[in-house]
Amino acid sequence: MLSIDSVSKRFNNGFVALESVDLQVRPGEIVSLVGTSGCGKSTLLRIISGLDQPTAGQVSVHGQRITAPHRDIGIIFQEPRLMPWLTVQDNIRFGLGSADRTTDITPILTKVGLLGFADALPRQLSGGMAQRVAIARALITQPSILLLDEPFSALDAFTRTKLQDHLLHIWEYDRPTMILVTHDVEEALVLSDRILVMRADPGRLHRELVIDLPRPRKRTEHQLQRWKERLLGELDLSLEDRSLLEIN
């Protein structure tokens, strides 16, 4: 169980990025965070990962407080962030924090569909393949929680759709808890059990949507489109509230 208890974040310049965020995430659940820019989505993700610390409140996993990066929590960023001088397999091993070349990474290479590219360098990979290496690197420690900060936003629409489906396929193996930050409404709806709409000034949780559609979800199905209209309505309200605050 991932527990976020009364988490707030105030920066040195006085800006309040988050205020009193409470959230419980069940094992194996996929939760998306959506909202306008500046509502604290990525800040919250960094606090969960242990890369940043809250001003108040705490994050805990299975009752253990998170105060630094933890082996049980993997994170995938918008850019793959691969070491250009390392091969695919060595970039993946980098996630172990060890240069041990004896570690068998065949299972993870197979899982992400890169078994034939173990010795390739990053410059020899497409954008989608590079991001699959980043996914493998995050999964190599078998984390129970996987954090994703707009992992497919830099890719073209076709590749993004393929990787969304591939991510769900990977998730089916071990069912890690996943928390996804995204601006892509359709991505959130296709992947998530719950979608949390955040609002800014200060960043806080505004609305929770439980997406009770069976998987796999067809992007063109009527029910998903109805959810899309509802979610877009919530996001419009978030934007409207922020505009009113700026005017006042």
Domain annotation for the chain: domains and CATH numbers: 1-69+177-220 (3.40.50.300)
State the pLDDT at residue 245: 39
State the pLDDT at residue 163: 93
Q: At what angle do helices 157-174 and 127-139 cross, to 10 degrees?
A: 20
Contacts of 245 (CB under 8 A, 6+ apart): 201
SS3 content of the chain, % helix, strand, coil (to 5): 40, 25, 40
Q: What is d(CA 80, CA 83) in angstroms, rounded to the nearest whole number?
A: 9
Q: What is d(CA 61, CA 110) in angstroms, rounded to the nearest whole number?
A: 29
State the pLDDT at residue 104: 84
Mean pLDDT in residue range 78-89: 93
pLDDT bucket at 29, cuts 50 / 70 / 90: very high
Mean pLDDT across the chain: 90
State the pLDDT at residue 94: 87
Q: Which residues are bridge partners to 198 per DSSP?
A: 35, 205
Are 109 and 115 a contacting pair, CB within 8 Å? yes
State the pLDDT at residue 154: 86
